[in-house]
Amino acid sequence: MIDVQALSKKFGDNLVLSDITTSIQKGEVVAIIGPSGSGKSTFLRCLNLLETPSSGSIEINGKNLTASKKEIHKIRQQIGMVFQHFHLFPHMTVLENLMYAPMKAKGIKKYDAEGKARQLLERVGLAQKADAYPNSLSGGQKQRVAIARALAMEPELMLFDEPTSALDPEMVKEVLEVMKDLAKSGMTMVVVTHEMGFAREVADRVLFLDHGALVEEGEPESFFKHPASERARDFLDKVL
C-alpha cells in the first residue's frame, strides 16, 4: 500500500531523514520508535505530504506522491492523521467536529454525515458527548474524538504521531484500546509511539529510527527480545 524508496529530507543543511526504504502492506500495523529528534514525525509527515521529501519517492496505492495537486488532494483524503495535541475545532461540538470534513471536502449530505458521526462516537465510547464542546472533555476523550473525526473521512490509512504522549497516565489505556480495536478491524496504521507495550502487542512490525536512518525493522517479538543493532539495544535499555 505504501512504498517508500530512498526517502531523504533536509531542513537547510540538517539531514533529518536519510535514505529510508521500506514498504507497508494493506492492513498492517507498523510502530515507529526511536529517540527524540530521530525523524519519526518528519517521516510520518512525509507520508501525508505535510512535508515534501528532498529526494526519493513515496507511492501510496501505486500513486506517486509527487503527482499533480489534484491527485495529492485525493490521496490525502484517504489518509487520516491523529496528533499528540488533538487539534479539535474548539468552536464546534463533538458531533460538528466529526461532520465538518465529510460535508465540506466530500460533499456528504448533512443527514448522512450525522448518522456516520453518531455511529463513530458510539464506536469510541463517546455517544453521550455528541453535543459537548471539546474543552469540556478530558484528554483521553479529546483524543478519542480526534480518532473518530479522522475515521469519519473513511480513510484507508491512519497515521498517529504519539497519540498518547500528551495524556495523563490514567487516560492512555482508553485511547490505546480504541487504537487496538481499529487495528483488529483491519485498518492500515502507522503509529509513532513511546508505548512499547502497545508496539509489542499490537504492531505487526516495528521500525526503529535513529538520527534519521532506518536502523532496524522487524517483528516486535524478535525486535524487543533480540535487537540486532547496538543503537536499538541502547534505546531499549533506556525506555524499558
* Chain contacts with ligand ADP (rule: CB under 6 A): 11, 14, 16, 34, 36-42
According to the binding rule CB under 5 A, does residue 164 interact with Mg ion? no
Q: Which is nearer to ligand ADP, 10 or 63 (CB)?
A: 10
Give the Cβ contact number of residue 110 at 10 Å: 10
Shortest separation between residue 40's beta carbon and ligand ADP, angstroms:
3
Backbone angles phi, psi at 15, to 5 degrees: -80, 105
CB-neighbour burial class of residue 81 (10 A; exposed 0-12, middle 13-18, buried 19+): buried
Q: Which is nearer to ligand ADP, 67 or 239 (CB)?
A: 239
Grid look-up 494493506 returns 26
Residues in the chain, overall count? 240
Q: Which does 16 bind (CB under 5 to 8 A by kind): ligand ADP, Mg ion, none?
A: ligand ADP
16, 29, 39, 41: residue in contact with Mg ion (rule CB under 5 A): 41
Angle, to 10 degrees, between the axis of helix 110-123 and the axis of helix 139-151? 130
Q: Which does 205 bind (CB under 5 to 8 A by kind): Mg ion, ligand ADP, none?
A: none
Q: Which is nearer to ligand ADP, 41 or 143 (CB)?
A: 41
Angle ∠(45,145,83) on CA atoms, nearest 5 = 20
Q: Which is nearer to ligand ADP, 16 or 82 (CB)?
A: 16
User: How far is 91 from 138, CA to CA, in rounded Å?
Assistant: 16
Q: How, if at all, do strands 157-161 and 79-82 pair?
A: parallel
Cβ proximity of 206 and 218 under 8 Å: yes
Q: Which is nearer to ligand ADP, 139 or 212 (CB)?
A: 212
Shortest separation between residue 6's beta carbon and ligand ADP, angstroms:
18
Burial 179-190 (b: 16+ CB within 10 A, else e): beebbeeebbbb
User: How far is 144 from 60, CA to CA, in rounded Å?
Assistant: 26
Q: Which does 11 bind (CB under 5 to 8 A by kind): ligand ADP, Mg ion, none?
A: ligand ADP
Grid look-up 489518509 returns 79
Q: Which does 193 bind (CB under 5 to 8 A by kind): ligand ADP, Mg ion, none?
A: none
Shortest separation between residue 40's beta carbon and Mg ion, angstroms:
5
User: How far is 37 from 114, CA to CA, in rounded Å?
Assistant: 40
Q: Which does 115 bind (CB under 5 to 8 A by kind): ligand ADP, Mg ion, none?
A: none
According to the binding rule CB under 5 A, does residue 193 interact with Mg ion? no
Number of residues lying near Mg ion (CB under 5 A): 2
Q: Which does 36 bind (CB under 5 to 8 A by kind): ligand ADP, Mg ion, none?
A: ligand ADP
